[in-house]
Amino acid sequence: MKVFVDPDICMGCGVCETIAPEIFQLGDAIHAIVIMDPVPESYRDLVQQAVDECPEEAISFED
Ligand code: SF4
């Protein structure tokens, strides 16, 4: 699957990086970036958790 973070919506809270640091990276940036592309199917539950817990609803994905 392909995972996206909308940089216009993300507020850089770091929740996604805490949930799945293999996929999301914040570092010193002001918004998270996706560092894995494509994301293997085995990560689906973690991606869904990140989608559900992102306070800004900035994360999306497509198969
Ligand atoms: S959880 Fe959402 S708002 Fe927070 S850093 Fe990740 S994408 Fe941005």
Q: What is the structure's pLDDT at 29? A: 78
At residue 28, the pLDDT reads: 76
Q: What is the pLDDT of residue 27?
A: 75
Residue 50 to residue 27: CA distance in whole angstroms: 17
Q: Say how far apart CA 51 and CA 47 lie, in whole Å.
A: 6
Atom of ligand 1 nearest to the CA of 17: 6
Q: How far is the CA of 41 from the centre of ligand 1 (A)?
A: 21
Residues shown for the chain: 63
CA of 59 to the centre of ligand 1 (A): 7
Q: Which of 4, 6, 15, 24 to mutate to test the pocket of ligand 1 (most atoms within 8 A of CB)?
A: 15
Report the chain's mean pLDDT, rounded to a whole number: 96
* Number of Cβ within a 10 Å radius of residue 6: 14
Q: Which residues pair with 3 in a beta bridge?
A: 61
Residue 35 has pLDDT above 80, yes or no: yes
Please state the domain extents for the chain. Answer: 2-62
Domain 2-62 fold: Alpha-Beta Plaits (3.30.70)
If you count DSSP H runs as helices and E runs as strands, how many of each does the chain have, helices first?
2, 4
* Per-residue pLDDT at 15: 97
CA distance 22 to 9: 21
